[in-house]
Every structure is written in structure tokens, then in C-alpha cells.
Amino acid sequence: MSVIDETHDPRRESWVTSAKGHAEFPIQNLPFGVFSPSRGAPRGGVAIGDEIFDLRAGLEAGLFSGDAARAAEAAAGATLNPLMALSSGPRQALRKRLSALLFADNPERARIEALSAQLLHNASDCTMHLPAAIGSYTDFFAGIHHARNGGMRRDPNNPLSPNYKYVPVAYHSRASSVRPSGVAIRRPNGQRKLPSEDAPSYGPCRKLDYELELAIWVGPGNALGEPIPIARAGDHLFGLGLFNDWSARDIQQWESQPLGPFLGKNFGSTVSPWIVTTEALAPFRVPQPARPAGDPRPLSHLWDETDQREGAFDIALEALLMTEGLGAKGLPPHRMSASNTTDLYWTVAQMIAHHSCNGCNLAAGDLFGSGTISGPTTAGYGSLMELSNDGTREITLASGETRTFVEDGDEVIFRAHCRKAGCAPIGFGECRARII
């Protein structure tokens, strides 16, 4: 597990003015992403306040040495995969060096500030890209409240499948259609059939939905045939982001039997561009919530005492909806729900361990979706399928508009923050996309 050190000190401030008290990217965060300046090719950077620290420029200025230089070189290209493939040692060295460079009391401050025109780019002038070349994308189903809410329509007496509490259920989805935040998603066409209809028809999705999830980025991989033990699974996590697993519910409901999701899921997914590293998240690790009485204990390949003590994360989540009607009235996005990653039934380490337990080879830059993270009450439901009871209950927005599912022109926005007494709060930035 990651350690807490001077980089997490809440008293530490940056000489970058916008970073002081920044709600998302203070000096205690330092997430990684890939960006393009107004004139330049994609490259690795680090968010600091409203600016982006250019790692390539830092290397050219000779600001890094040793393991920090090795990690900066791995992170400076058009994808973060080389950085993700490194062990935690070089990553921690780079984090410490970046924190020192950006620290207000840095003895080198005058020299660094003199280079600020080359080192820092205004984030609003830059284009963000996918942070990694995604070789594989797997979507889990680890949010038990969402799983139960979905299963209630199938069997109110037994809403969860028999394997749910024994195994982190998942399926392989489409990596090539994952897009960064801000890229519009086109409403998909497909076969759909309502229970009242005698036969399926082909046309635009009528029940387009969002799913509020964590993006889980794999770090160092494993060789084919060599499972990752649960006690070491945390070493294979690079960091977390936000993920919208867009779902065409009517297409999904018709096609899913017997092999599961296909065209209802693979038309597009949206991921936040900044990856908050495991090192930055160290102060916000918490025990995995105890399983309810009567639930089975996971099998040995999924059970580790240390993971149970500190393998969960305390991350507050929000889903918001922006519509043309809200915009016309000058209103902000309407908050649809708020939940927390402690609502997940399985830890990230359990997902990694199970994914590889049969010898499946994970690779640096592989992406997991956590599954929809819903809270136990309506206020925390992470999808419109749940909020609207599959379209039978209208949701009234602040503008007076109503919704059951996402309409063309709507923009879905996810936000997340870590807050804890005695720690500087950090955020994830936004994961947002508009439907066209």
C-alpha cells in the first residue's frame, strides 16, 4: 500500500497561484494526463491548479535525475503506458520531485519560476487526450445496490445472481470506443423490443442511460499464466479516474440473453482525462465495509486481511445533468445523485486478483470500469434506469423539464472529491459528454 509522506502535508502550498486551495488539483494531488498545448504534439503532463506542468519541458530543463528522471521520461510521451508499467518506486520518486519543484518554499524556486513559461501551460488553452493506449477494457458489476436494483425487475425475491457474492462479476467490452471527457457520444441504433411488442424493430435507442463508475487503470501487468496474488494486487493499480459506461438499455435488454452485453454497451464510453495516482490517494484509503451478516466470505484467492483493512477508497461521487432548458434559464447542471465508492461490494484489489486468477495477462494501461456505483437510497442511484424505474417514473429538473432517460443535446457530468479532516481535499476533474 502507498505511504503518507511530505507530499500529502495539508500545510504545503505551491508557488503556482491557482493551486492554492484548488478544489481539484492542489499540490497534494498531482494527477497525470496527456495533453496538447495550443501549438504542440500530445505529451504527458501533471495538473497543478489551473495549469499543466509539461514533463517533456521539465526533462529538457534538466529538472529530474535518477528514478525521478526515469519516470518523467516514461510519462513525457503521447501515452502514459510506459509510466504505468514501472514499479511504484520511480513513480514515488517523480511525485516527490514534482512536489518539491512546485513547493512555495523550494530553494530552487527562483530558477523554476524563471522557466515557468516553458514548464506551465494554461489548462483552458490545452486539449486533453486519452491518458493511455487502452489494450483491453473490462467492465465489472461491483456496485451491489445497482446490481440489486437491476435484478429486482427480473426476480424481486432473488435480485442478485447466485454467484454475485462469491465473484466480482465482469465482462469484456470494447476498448476502441472509449473516448476522453468532452467528446460527444452519438445515440446508437440497434434492435430493441419492449415487452408489449410482438417483434423487435431497428432504430435509435429509446432508453439511453449513463452509469456512474470508477475508471481503474492497471499499472504493471503480469505474464500470461501467472496469476496476481490478492496480497500483491494493489501493486498493480496505477490510479483511478471517472468513467461513464453509456448504456442503450432497450438494446441491452433485448440482446443480452444468453451471452450478455454487446451493442447496448460498445458504442461509446467516456473516461476522465486525469488519473489520480495510488500515491495521491493514500490518505483516503479506508477499510472495506463489512459484509452483511450471512454473506459468504470470499474464497481464499480473493481474501487478504490488509486489503480488507485499507483496500477501499473514500471518494464522494456526483452525477449531474445539463440540458438545453437549464442552459436557457441560466441554471447550473442538475444534480441527479450523490454516492460514494464505499458502496462497492468488492475492492479494486479483488477485481485485479480475480481478473488474473486464471492466468489472464493484464497489461499496463488496461482499463476496468467498477460497475455503476449506487447508494442504498434513491438519492444515490448512479443511473437513470434506477432513478426512473426503467422509464416509469419521470424526474423533474430545476428547469421544469422532465427526464426518464437521456435525450439528444443533454450533457452528463460526473465529479468526484476526496475529503478528510487533517488532509488537503483533492478532486478528479470532470468526466462529461453530450449526446448527439
Residues with catalytic annotation?
146
Between CA 115 and CA 109 the distance in angstroms is 10
Coil, helix or strand at residue 430: coil
Quick one: CA torsion of 208, 313, 143, 237, rounded to 10 degrees? 80
Whole-angstrom Cα distance, residue 128 to residue 124? 10
Nearest 5°: phi and psi at 247? -135, 125
Distance CA 383, CA 238 (A): 27
Q: What three-state secondary structure class fits 260? A: coil
Which three-class secondary structure string do you get for 339-405? EEHHHECCCHHHHHHHHHCCCCCCCCCCEEECCCCCCCCHHHCCCHHHHCCCCCCCEECCCCCEECC
Q: Cα-atom radius of gyration of the chain, to the nearest Å?
A: 22
Cα 238 to Cα 260: distance, rounded to the nearest angstrom = 29
* Angle, helices 88-102/66-75, rounded to nearest 10 degrees: 90
* 135/130 Cα distance (integer angstroms): 12
* Whether the Cβ atoms of residue 116 and residue 54 lie closer than 8 Å to each other: no
| Whole-angstrom distance, CA of residue 95 vs CA of residue 296 | 40
Written as nine digits, the cell of 145 is 445496490
What are the phi and psi torsion angles at 12 (to 5°)? -70, 130
Sheet containing 120-122: order of strands: 120-122, 51-54, 43-48, 32-36, 127-129
Helix and strand tally (H, E) in the chain?
Answer: 12, 26
